Amino acid sequence: MLLDNMLIRYDGFHPSTGTQSDIESAVKEILIEAPTGASAEATFTRKNDIVKGFVHVHSSAGPFFAIATAGEVHEVCRKLIGGMRRRLNKWKTKRFSHKTIHDLDPIFRSQF
């Protein structure tokens, strides 16, 4: 399924409408936190009783990946969001680790 800036593939199962909607919401949530202009590819595979999810975010800031496995699609989505959040927060910490206003020159700071 291709939606605007995300591609979702399913292997080994056909999700119900509700499950498909939950997966789309999870990928959209990841994209909201991703760098501006990012796109995502996600693959969900069911083999036996295990669901594996893989999300790859493409962005100008570089690639971001998350992989998760569980018995239920909803649990995989939760794990993917958590894993991607950790990676994106690490990037944001490096990207936005500029000095705060408290580190500025005292004369400049007094203007605030």
Question: Structurally, how many domains does the chain consist of?
Answer: 1
pLDDT digits (tens, 9 = 90+) for 51-76: 999 999 999 999 999 999 999 999 99
Is residue 14 over pLDDT 60?
A: yes
Give the CATH number of the domain where residue 11 resides: 3.30.160.100
Lateral strand order in the sheet of 50-58: 2-3, 6-11, 39-47, 50-58, 64-70
Domain that holds residue 102: 2-109
Predicted TM-score (pTM) of this structure: 0.79
Cα(52)–Cα(42) distance, integer angstroms: 10
pLDDT, position 109: 46
Element (H, E) at 108: helix 106-109
Residue 56 and residue 65 in contact, taking contact as beta carbons nearer than 8 Å: yes
Residue 24 and residue 3 in contact, taking contact as beta carbons nearer than 8 Å: yes
